[in-house]
Structure 1
């Protein structure tokens, strides 16, 4: 615990406040040159020297180990007493203090220490004339400015045959570097002269990649190790898992064997939260989730087959195309499949059937992106087909929030690492959308046309200000988001918690109502089936004579009903005919009465 003692002092004791103002330059003195003084000096003749080359310079960077400092203090309550003095005895301590205070050396030492302490106290109470008193107001004005984004750099694929940027990963130590994986995922569109290389870019130098990675097969995904910034793992197009240590060069440090790897391209690799920092797991469209230890990539340490029947049948497994893992929930992970289903899994379950916990029927097509909210892990974001959805783990029937159907496909999405209400999406028309659900839910808060080709990958920096987007033609665009969308707003966490809770309650009520209607419909159908079954059973129990008698009775009852109906019709016709006669006679009488008057 750091021990701090504060000294307070009234503002009036500081003296008059320093006030600074801008004023134009003022000439205080003008000294004319003296020709007599120039005679006392000798002018040096000019000398010209030509140089053909400059001195050789070299630059080198070394990452040293971090020095972790900590502040420690001791709260000195009692001590320093002679052996013959008992600190618990009040009389002895008072007597000893009086004796020491009368000593001349004590008075001299106190006077000397007083000046030192006074100087330290004066430093603590001094006025900082360079302090910015209105810094908060400037920050508030920047936050309230309209949403905007600007392009910082564009990193282009140096190869002639352009490839799609399928995955991006930021360097964990400050984010000075950005790793990009390039691959062609279109069916039978990859050419033979296409390069399999991946690159690590320095965000300050877009002209040339800092390091070129040379895998045997093009990388579909890659991920930096959060515990060791020199290592990262990647998933290849041929299904292999590749491990790199950048200190050893461009070639892979270790590669998994083809027999023990995935059968399809590896679409996602994520590092696990472990003590050694060497464990990762991968997902592929072959329906397998494999766990690896990069110290020994000869075979996976664990396997899970995404068979919703919980039988481990690889032929009926769902193809995994996205993967989600939150370090605060080390036993849970989620998988997005090609069939539009999100599967929630538990790694620590004992049996294979228990590892698949539940599933969410989320999209009409593949789930391209899946991520939990960093502030509310119970809520996760999924992207597929033409819309993005926000889900709650407690509700499996439907999502609690969703966007409108867009005019083009959504290919990737992610939450902002600093704001719980903001997430980003990219589309095939080259647009980056920024959504702020506290501001509005129907439309994005900011839409930026990044490029003319489709965007396929997206990764924000941990600070929230920088966002990297990868395009179909191999260009990585680095954008800077405005301060209003990249800084935490006042009461934003509490407002988002209330919104998620409110929407979850609404969906639960609608889900309960839907279940009740289904139960009523089921009970009605079961009752009608029972009635039909009882009627059929009664008909089966009757003898042929009883059936004939019942048919005759039904026939004669129908005949009697028809006779009654005809009699009623005849009576109605007679009544109508009598009424018509009365009306015609009345009309004739009226004519006879009016005729003499007209004459």
Structure 2
């Protein structure tokens, strides 16, 4: 386009804008003329309005009668000179005595009470950056000022930044420096985590749906997962090789406050001098730091990948990376979420110390218990092998491999409140929630109980009492599964270390709660206890009735059983984990002979079944009983069970007792 044509185009645009401004001024002038005409029309009635207003402003006009100079007959004469009725009605009315009285003012409307509230969401500042103020249009129809030629932007003119410079292109060295900078790392960590949460939301779809219980009329799904198992609805693998390579999971736990969070603890990386470190032990942490690297960051500092201890918090929505990372100077053998404070995580270390991590303070512990070096101290001097929450969340119990049991207050984890010695070794621990009685398994196959300070009649005792279940004594009803008689020889205890012990957690309102306590445990099916050991067996106990195991199931492949756990919501369902990498699901209300999953179970780690590596070492039920978290090596598997597995079918609690009584394993009450 030539320069003359461009000038002509701009001139035409300016002429159009001037016409629009003239039209606007003409409309405003017309509105002013109309207003003047209306004022002139009503000016004739102004004198009468002023006279009436003067009468109303006189003192006592509202209470003193006015002379009746105007009667009802003359009332219609109150018109203006032009013969029209006044446009403004006087605020007076005629009374029965033909006098004019002032009308009472109308009552004020009631004031409405308005309540307001604010709805907020937990977001970060970068989620909602400040928006720039909108720029005014170059031309406003309400503006009387005409535009100049300089206000126009020439067509085709390129936009630049505020300084008038083009964006700078970074060199490869500058680009690398920006990528490794702390602001960019924090941004990338936060943004990528949000994307992964969104992509993983299908894993959280059924967290708020309760399928447990009678569901008549609802069609149950019979779909299979990729491995062909009809017992699973889905399965997911959670791993982070960058942090967990060459490590093994030592403990698992589900968060009691956030259903989608999981905790896994790890030992030290395997190396040439691992044996020396295991024998010597190490302090849990040499220093406590409150300005450490953020626990939510995936980037390690120098030497952090080789930390002896590690604890990871996982979210169901992010299988590829942990939500939080905690490190420690000693291998972490057991861990639990804090029962009431969501940001806190408690760990038990090989050094014998308890450590507390806070997600707000970084990766290192913010608190640790006293390191016991003298015989007079109450703390642990040997590795802590198990940990459980007691007293409704206000207490904690830990057991060490030397058989020492410590009771702690959650409010003070520096020194234990009470200590007991149970035998000469310990390997696992469980709590009976209804009675707060403890079950301790040892390295020789023995099972010990610690009765709580409350007796069976509700009276307080002087101290906790320790009792070992003596399997050598003859007790009625102590026959093994498939045994021909009830003598003690047919039902011995474990021949090796007890790897796991599990007590039932009966849902509120269950009928077994009314059965009463005996020897610190519930009578009925609510007091049944399970143990697993390296002697290839899983055993069923009833401490309220007998000191001997009621039944014993031996692995068909003669592999040691690494864990056993009762379902938290199903009265007759439990799961076992073996070194073959498979999980077995049992429902003893249906069968006392074999698991419902068959002798091969559900294969979780195929590598363990073929090469003998990565056998299962831990498993944990979720609080709703619909998921099982299982660990194999450094892999964490989450298995969602099918509805038919977790759904109760009638009174299975009573059927369990009927099976045990009919076999002569328990006496009928």
Q: Secondary structure at the match of 1:247?
A: coil
Aligned equivalent of 2:367, options 246, 254, 260: 254
Deviation at 1:461, TM superposition (A): 0.9
> Take 2:554 and 2:347, find their aligned partners in 1: how far apart are those partners?
34
Displacement of 1:201 in angstroms is 0.9
Equivalent residue, structure 2, for 1:154: 238
Are 1:344 and 2:452 matched, yes or no? no
Match of 1:477 among 624, 637, 642: 637
Alignment of 1:205-220 (within 5 A): 205-220=318-333
Alignment of 1:155-234 (within 5 A): 155-159=239-243, 161-183=245-267, 189=274, 193=306, 195-234=308-347
5 Å-filtered alignment, 1:441-452, equals: 441-446=592-597, 447-451=601-605, 452=607
1:555-598 deviations in Å (ceiling 9; x for gaps):
xxxxxxxxxxxxxxxxxxxxxxxxxxxxxxxxxxxxxxxxxxxx
Work out which of the residue numbers 546, 568, 576 in structure 2 matches 1:417: 568
Rounded Cα–Cα distance in structure 1 between residues aligned with 2:572 and 2:396: 29
Aligned to 1:303: 419
Is the alpha carbon distance of 1:238 and 1:401 closer, same or farther for their aligned partners in structure 2, counting shifts above 3 Å? same
Flag the 1:184–1:212 CA change in 2: closer, same or farther, 3 A: closer
Tell me if 1:356 matches 2:466. yes
Give secondary structure in 2 for the equivalent of 1:411: strand
Distance in 2 (alpha carbons) for counterparts of 1:228 and 1:321? 28
Name the counterpart of 1:468: 629
- Is residue 233–residue 269 contact of structure 1 (8 Å, CA) maintained in 2? no
Distance 2:660 2:345 in 1: 35
* Deviation per residue, 1:477-502 (Å, 9 max, x gap): 11111111112222222222333444
Q: 2:382 aligns with which of 253, 260, 264?
A: 264
Report the CA distance shift for 1:434/1:160 in structure 2 as closer, same or farther (over 3 A): closer
SS in 1 for 2:657: helix
CA distance in 2, matches of 1:156, 1:432: 23
Residue 431 (structure 1) aligned to one of 556, 563, 582: 582
C-alpha displacement of 1:140: 5.1
8 Å CA contact retained: 2:308, 2:329: no
Contact 2:500–2:531 (CA under 8 A) maintained in structure 1: yes
- State how far apart, in whole Å, the 2-side matches of 1:471 and 1:184 are: 16
Give the count of matched residue pairs: 374
Cα pair 1:386 1:409 within 8 Å, conserved: yes
**Residue 215 of structure 2 is aligned to residue 139 of structure 1:** no
Structure 2 residue aligned with 1:440? 591
1:15 matched residue in structure 2: none
* Per-residue CA distance 1:233-288 (angstroms, 9 max, x = gap): 211011111123333332222101111432221111111215xx442110011110
Which residue number in structure 1 is paired with residue 4 of structure 2? none
Distance of aligned partners of 1:400 and 1:252 in 2 relative to their CA distance in 1, 3 Å threshold: same
How far 1:164 sits from its partner (Å)?
1.2
Instruction: Report the equivalent of 1:40.
Output: none
Q: 1:326 aligns with which of 432, 436, 455?
A: 432
Q: Which has the higher helix share?
A: 1
Closer, same or farther: CA 343–433 of 1 in aligned 2, 3 Å: same
Q: Give the conservation status (yes or no) of the 8 Å contact 2:266–2:311.
A: yes
1:389, distance to aligned residue in structure 2 (A): 0.9
CA distance in 1, matches of 2:311, 2:345: 12
Instruction: Quote the Cα distance in structure 2 between the aligned partners of 1:430 and 1:245.
Output: 34
Residue in 1 that maps onto 2:653:
493
Secondary structure of the corresponding residue to residue 478 of structure 1: strand
Range with greater deviation from structure 2 (247-256 or 422-431) = 247-256
Are residue 398 (structure 1) and residue 548 (structure 2) matched? yes
Go from structure 1 to structure 2 and tell me whether the alpha carbon gap of 1:159 and 1:495 turns closer, same or farther (over 3 Å shift): same
| Contact persistence 2:240–2:322 (CA under 8 A) | no
Tell me what 2:409 maps to.
293
Evaluate the alpha carbon distance shift between residue 149 and residue 369 of structure 1 in structure 2; reply closer, same or farther with a 3 A threshold: farther
SS of match in other structure, 2:355: strand
- State the distance in 2 between where 1:211 and 1:205 align: 11
Structure 1 residue 142 displacement after superposition: 5.3
Work out whether 1:382 is the aligned partner of 2:531.
yes
Cα deviations across residues 388-435 of structure 1 (Å, max 9, x unaligned)?
A: 111111343432222134421100110112211111111111111111
Gap change, CA 1:483 and 1:460, over 3 Å in 2: same
Following the alignment from structure 1 to structure 2, what is the Cα–Cα distance between the partners of residues 204 and 360? 47
| Match status 1:280 vs 2:364 | no
CA deviation after TM superposition for structure 1 residue 226, in Å: 2.9
CA contact (8 A) 1:153 1:203 kept: no
Q: TM-score, normalised by structure 1?
A: 0.56
User: C-alpha offsets along residues 508-550 of structure 1, whole Å, 9 cap, x if unaligned?
Assistant: 69xxxxxxxxxxxxxxxxxxxxxxxxxxxxxxxxxxxxxxxxx
Change (3 A) 1:360 1:460: farther
Relative to structure 1, the CA distance from residue 242 to residue 502 in structure 2 (aligned partners, 3 Å threshold; closer, same or farther) is farther
Structure 1 position 217, deviation (Å)? 0.8
Measure the CA separation in 2 of the matches of 1:499 and 1:288: 38
Equivalent-residue separation in structure 2 for 1:180 and 1:255 (angstroms): 19
Question: Which residue pairs with 1:371 in the alignment?
Answer: 502
Structure 2, gaps ≥5 residues long: 1-157, 160-166, 170-186, 195-214, 278-305, 454-459, 472-492, 507-524, 608-613
RMSD: 3.6
Deviations 1:1-53 (A, max 9, x none): xxxxxxxxxxxxxxxxxxxxxxxxxxxxxxxxxxxxxxxxxxxxxxx99xx99
- The 3 A distance-change label for structure 1 pair 230 and 488 is farther
SS at match of 1:159: helix
Superposition TM-score, scaled by structure 2 size: 0.51
Specify the SS of the correspondent of 1:377. helix
CA distance in 2: counterparts of 1:436 and 1:185, whole angstroms: 38
Q: Please give the secondary structure, in 2, of the residue aligned with 1:400.
A: strand
1:28-107 matched pairs, under 5 angstroms? none
Cα distance change on mapping 1:406 and 1:239 into 2, 3 Å: farther
Distance change in 2, residues 1:449/1:405 (3 Å): closer
Matching residue of 1:520 = none
The whole-number CA distance in structure 2 between the counterparts of 1:364 and 1:185 is 31
Change (3 A) 1:213 1:239: same
